[in-house]
Structure 1
Amino acid sequence: MPSTTTLPTAESLQGKPVPSVTFKARLEDQWRDLRSDELFKGKTVVVFSLPGAFTPTCSSTHLPRYNELAPVMRQNGVDDILCISVNDAFVMNQWAAGQGASNITVVPDGNGDFTEGMGMLVDKRDLGFGRRSWRYSMLVNDGVIDKIFIEPDKEGDPFEVSDADTMLRHINPNAKIPEPVVMFSRPGCPHCARAKAALRENGIVFTDISEDQKITTSVLRGISGELTWPQVFVGGKRIGGADETVAWVAERER
């Protein structure tokens, strides 16, 4: 629970500008100052904020689902999806890389300036976290908060309303959510590389489960009934290898 901090209400924040701060980011191994105007001015932006990189709910659900639905949000008028956390730039960059979150812009609010300006800086010293962000998400148009979803003020780390599906339903209740795509691949496999390229070039988010994650040929055969790499599944249904995946992508794009 946010100890002595009283969380703001959605009504008190909607219609107000986001805090004007400077974020200390690391881009291409160089320090870079990112101002709020650069991130928000003239854009429609989805923001989700969470307690910390590498933490369980943030890593297993919050970030991955936004990364998965980011292309759909962009198809519905969103210019960028930002993940803001009170972590330094090195931690945020490493987390995003490990998550394969290429559709998300991670923003390090290391000093908590933006989070404090939002009224969302809470005391988590009982967990050894110091001061961190309460979990929330918002839709920002040209620097002004259009809609915000704030997790309820109760014990623990509630995750009920700031999820990607709730945000997408707000943006467009009729948006078509794609089936999850999973690929079983092998490092150095040219057919795997071809299938990945076909998916990426068409903006299809997929989960890559590779041989170096202990997915052996025997495991692959047990799952798919096949011995060749890659094997691609969509919504639990096997599509097949590289040729079948390229054909599936082409048919989907018609």
Structure 2
Amino acid sequence: MNMTQLTHREGQRVPNVTFRVRENNEWKDVTTDDLFKGKTVVLFSLPGAFTPTCSSTHLPRYNELAPAFAKNGVDAILCVSVNDTFVMNEWAKDQEAGNIVMVPDGNGEFTDGMGMLVDKTDLGFGKRSWRYSMLVKDGVVEKMFIEPQEPGDPFKVSDADTMLDYINPNAKKPDQVVVFSKVGCSFCARAKRLLEENGYVYADVPLDNKIRGKVLGAVSGEMTAPQIFINGRLIGNAEALEKFLAA
């Protein structure tokens, strides 16, 4: 289809489609009623599994913000792509996708019914989904965020943060926490324990002796582990974290 035909479907029902899904080595039919009926659903659709933007940003951020969506009335988050169920299942294993329902639109029927099927034969993809997101209540589209009709694969409005801000501009988002650590470090273990006791989910980045000093010096100005960052702010070592949490 021509990209100029992309239109919002707000106020309309989602297409009536049956998806063929592979679960526990058995085939299963999943209908749009199964996914949408009586539910508040956020759906985001993208050109393909394993593609760079989809894997690095689009899918992981929806997965990360899933608890915030749930607290604001969203029953499920769906990821749709014109890929078969085997590809979608493998992509889910490869990604941070435990909070996402992967929907394989292998024949492109749902995407076509949404008016989002585009021709990407120039990339060797065939027909794929244009990138978009939408909020669906009981099968009816309330809001759509469609990426601008520009060459390539724009990613400006269908992201998780834009959708959550639409649902609730004041929604509390999970803190992003990173611990730069080293193996066998008692101070690092103490810092991680403090974070866990205070309900923080963190990414642990262990650094070996060859690069630790250079990395920590570059990002924090300190040479010793651990160094903790929360939402882009340097907290510092375990002692500094303890003071931060006490405050």
Instruction: Give yes or no for the alignment of 1:151 onto 2:143.
Output: no
User: Structure 2: 5+ residue runs without aligned partners?
Assistant: none
What is the CA deviation profile of residues 182-234 of structure 1, one whole-angstrom value per residue up to 9, with x for unaligned ones?
Answer: 355789x9x98xx59x86xx6x664x4555xxx425545643768778x7542
State the SS of the aligned residue for 2:5. Answer: coil
Quick one: distance in 2 between partners of 1:113 and 1:7?
A: 17
Count of residues in Structure 1 that have an aligned counterpart in Structure 2: 235
Instruction: Give yes or no for the alignment of 1:216 onto 2:208.
Output: yes
Instruction: Give yes or no for the alignment of 1:99 onto 2:95.
Output: yes
What is the CA deviation profile of residues 66-123 of structure 1, one whole-angstrom value per residue up to 9, with x for unaligned ones?
Answer: 1121111111111111110011112112222212221211111111111111111110
TM-score (norm 1): 0.78
TM-score (norm 2): 0.80
Quick one: distance in 2 between partners of 1:114 and 1:132?
A: 11
Identity %: 58
Q: 2:160 aligns with which of 140, 154, 164?
A: 164
Instruction: Give yes or no for the alignment of 1:139 onto 2:131.
Output: no
1:24 corresponds in structure 2 to: 20
1:46-195 equivalences under 5 Å are: 46-183=42-179
1:235 corresponds in structure 2 to: 231
CA contact (8 A) 1:233 1:240 kept: no
Counterpart of 1:157 in structure 2: which amino acid?
D
1:7 corresponds in structure 2 to: 5
CA contact (8 A) 1:65 1:164 kept: yes
1:175: Cα distance to partner? 1.3
Higher CA-based Rg: 2
Quick one: distance in 2 between partners of 1:210 and 1:30?
A: 38
Counterpart of 1:216 in structure 2: which amino acid?
D
Query: RMSD in angstroms over aligned alpha carbons?
Result: 3.3
Q: Residues 39, 185 of structure 1: CA spacing in aligned structure 2 closer, same or farther, 3 A cutoff? A: farther
